[in-house]
Amino acid sequence: MSAKKMLLIIVGLFAGLFLLLVGCLLMVRLAVTYGEHDRADNAPGVGLVEVKGMIVDSREPIRQLRYFLKKDNVKAVVLRIDSPGGVVGPAQEIYEEVKRLAARKKVVVSMGSLAASGGYYIAAPATEIFANPGTITASIGVLIKFSNIEGLLDKIGITSTTIKTGAFKGAGSPDRPLTAADRAMFQSVINNTHEQFVRAVAEGRKLPVAEVRRIADGRILSGEQAKALHLVDRLGNLQDAIDEAGRLAGISGEPEVIHPPKKKVNYLDLLATGAEETFSNTVGKAVGRGLQVVYE
């Protein structure tokens, strides 16, 4: 076989694979598009927003909450939470969005197996909170984690030099220990952020600040214990929360559950993001994460 024929065969194979990939992506996109419109747009119902896993990015929950805020046929929203907590900033952003929605429509939280720390934070401003008796919740507290690899660097013969503009710039760096002044500075940040958490829970649950502060020592509670302390309103599962949301919204019978439209996917961005996350995770495991204040 000539080189020219071989080249044509190879080009043909690559072209075929490319067309197959494009066809698959189009089919997925069409399935998503048609799936978004498979119900009567004006039928009244209860919206469902799910927050699962670590809270590190608020954009998708906020997008869904705002979507339901604007939909007249969505009479109430159920926020299903299965989260151990996460980064402070995103949790506070979701809290504010739940608070904004609850001022206009009824918001009922359904806690799954875990709704602790930041997971509880975003639940606090809801109209009503359901938990299972064995749900792990509360854990009202804040922390910052640091890693120190100074000894490892010494063993492999790596030294580092930092040029900085102030005494606290570079505090928490993994290549040097914390000083007493560093610890005091970080503790003041933690104390202030913890107080924000306490005030947010007190406001959302309509409880005295002193009462919340008394149990805001990082302790976890079962759903049953949280109910006794007024951190949870009722014991029940997701369907109980949906039924209650329908009742609060004045919907007769079993309410229809309305899911938010799926987020449009840019596959090129997805590939780029995947590569970036893989690189970041590899580096993060090697040298420790950047500074993050977390509800955990």
Q: Which residue has the tokens 């949870």?
A: 232
Residue type, 208: P
Q: Give, to the nearest 10 degrees, the angle between helix 88-102 and helix 59-70.
A: 10
Q: Which residue has the tokens 């439209």?
A: 261
Q: Which residue has the tokens 């854990």?
A: 139
Residues identified as active-site: 117, 169
Instruction: List all residues 6 or more positions away from 122 whose beta carbon is below 8 Å from its beta carbon.
Output: 51, 55, 61, 79, 81, 83, 91, 94, 95, 98
Q: Which helix (H) or strand (E) holds 96?
A: helix 88-102
Phi, psi of 242 (to 5 degrees): -65, -45
- Measuring CA to CA, which residue among 15, 32, 3 is closest to residue 259? 32
CA 15/CA 19 separation, integer angstroms: 6
DSSP letters spanning 26-76: HHHHHHHHHHTTSS-TT--EEEEEEEES-B---HHHHHHHHHHHH-TTEEE
* Number of residues in the chain: 296
Instruction: List all residues 6 or more positions away from 160 whose beta carbon is below 8 Å from its beta carbon.
Output: 153, 175
